[in-house]
Chain A
Amino acid sequence: MPTAVAAAGVGTAARAGVEVRLENLRRRYGGVTALDGLNLTMAPGELVALLGPSGCGKTTALRLVAGLEQADSGRVVVAGEDVTGQPTNKRDVGMVFQAYSLFPHMTAWQNVAFGLQMRKVDTARRRKRAGDMLELVGLSGFANRFAHQLSGGQQQRVALARALAIEPKVLLLDEPLSALDAKVRARLRGSPRSS
């Protein structure tokens, strides 16, 4: 099974999808070239998977779209707007990390509601939306659990719910199933698409 990264310019229920364009992205780490002029256009609503052996630059591409890293050269254009210099928190990009990204001092629903809190959504609506999202990933009964009380697969589903809760323009999944065993992986693989 080759490692795979899925990047999706998703259309969520509330919004039409947007176009994501990567133009000639370059990124070097010391002597290692991770990306050497990547060009990629994702149509609105399109689901794109980046495949390749480890170290080929999949994660770097995603992190550039998210703004977690800066490209040496090239542009990232989302919905026609150049976001290359924008910080991550202004980009409206949802991201699910490989593992361990849940805040350990918050319960599952507090994690899911965190992005809405950043957007100043009031408490009642946060709670409602977080509940809906947890239901979507099949974890309604686990709202008050902390990360250390959840299995690896459950944690990743909460992380997915958290990324979906903010209805981002772009949803990025960086090997979200890599830390899980094959059985759980097979069960979870369908879920991104169904949203």
Chain B
Amino acid sequence: MSRSRRLKLQVFRVIVFLVFGAFFLVPIGAMFEFSTRGNTDTAPRTLSAWQTIFQTPDLVAAILASLALAVITSAGMLVLLVPTMIWVRLRLPRLNRVVEFLCLLPLTIPAIVLVAGLAPEYRWLSINVSESILTLAFVYLVLVLPYTYRTLHAGLAAIDVKTLSEAARSLGAGWATVMGRIIVPNMWSALLNAALLSVAVVLGEFTIANLLNYVNLQVAIALLGRANAGVSIAVAVASLMFAFILLVILSFFGRPRARVAQLEADTTLSWGQKT
């Protein structure tokens, strides 16, 4: 590459990063600014909005509900998806494409569509089983499938499941032992990534909770926004920071470096791509 071209490229990159950096950082900075305003134009900066978060019982309840949903969804996802994916790989290879299709399907069915069909089901659930907001975990598990499927798929692809299990079986291990003691310990980082992604998705969910009349974190923020914008924006910033920390941990944890972008694309999107 000639020197003048390299110089032009560097100038181009600096300008691009400055402009995009400003576009993406200014709104986040503005939320910090907004959440620390005083009551009047001349009042000094204050953290009172942030302190009010914990004095708002509805908000605390919603935060706790969302955290509980995140934990239940992650655990349920692992229990349902991991054994299925391993089993299909080992014993039902012809079902592989079906499982992949079903896992990626929620990307093609918008949440707003899903909720139209879920409304009767949740009406039945609230009458016959429970009215608890935690029942949302049933549908959240479906919502996180596309994101977690890709991560687990990559984790399983990195180990030779078939040979490992055949070796273990030849040494006398049953199927439960093969899964629990041979395969799962070899894909810890994929399991952790899948769980963290689920947490991030659940904490950000608004559509389904709102339209099924449950108050989770995002719905609470939206409701509060009309009464006390400062507090709701403070919570919004806090939840955003939390999601960002989760995903930064995720992107630095156990990934081959050169393939970070590919994996980001795989794990956060995986829109119907085939391997």
Contact = CB atoms under 8 A, between A and B. Distances in A.
Direct A–B touching in the complex (beta carbon < 8 Å)?
yes
Interface of A: 69-70, 87
Nearest to B3: A70
Interface in B194-224: none
Contacts of A70: 2-3
Contacts of B3: 70
A48 B72 CA distance: 70
Nearest to A68: B1
4 contacts: A69-B1, A70-B2, A70-B3, A87-B2
Contacts of A69: 1
A124 to B, nearest CB: 35
Interface string B1-21: 111000000000000000000
Nearest to B6: A70
Contacts of B2: 70, 87
A70 B6 CA distance: 12
Q: Is the interface of A mostly helix, strand, loop or mixed?
A: loop
Interface of B: 1-3
A70 B1 CA distance: 8
A87 B3 CA distance: 11
Nearest to A69: B1
B253 to A, nearest CB: 31
Contacts of A87: 2
Nearest to B2: A70
A69 to B, nearest CB: 8
B37 to A, nearest CB: 50
A69 B6 CA distance: 12
Nearest to A67: B2
A69 B3 CA distance: 9
A147 B25 CA distance: 44
A87 B2 CA distance: 8
Contacts of B1: 69
Nearest to B5: A87
A123 to B, nearest CB: 31
A177 B3 CA distance: 31
The 4 closest A-B pairs by CB, nearest first: A70-B2, A70-B3, A87-B2, A69-B1
B7 to A, nearest CB: 12
A69 B2 CA distance: 7
Nearest to A88: B2
A164 to B, nearest CB: 26
A73 to B, nearest CB: 14
A88 to B, nearest CB: 9
A9 B1 CA distance: 24
A69 B1 CA distance: 6
A64 to B, nearest CB: 12
A69 B5 CA distance: 12
B56 to A, nearest CB: 57
A20 B2 CA distance: 22
A83 B2 CA distance: 14
A87 B1 CA distance: 9
A70 B2 CA distance: 7
A105 to B, nearest CB: 19
A92 B219 CA distance: 66
A95 to B, nearest CB: 15
A94 to B, nearest CB: 20
B242 to A, nearest CB: 41
A34 to B, nearest CB: 16
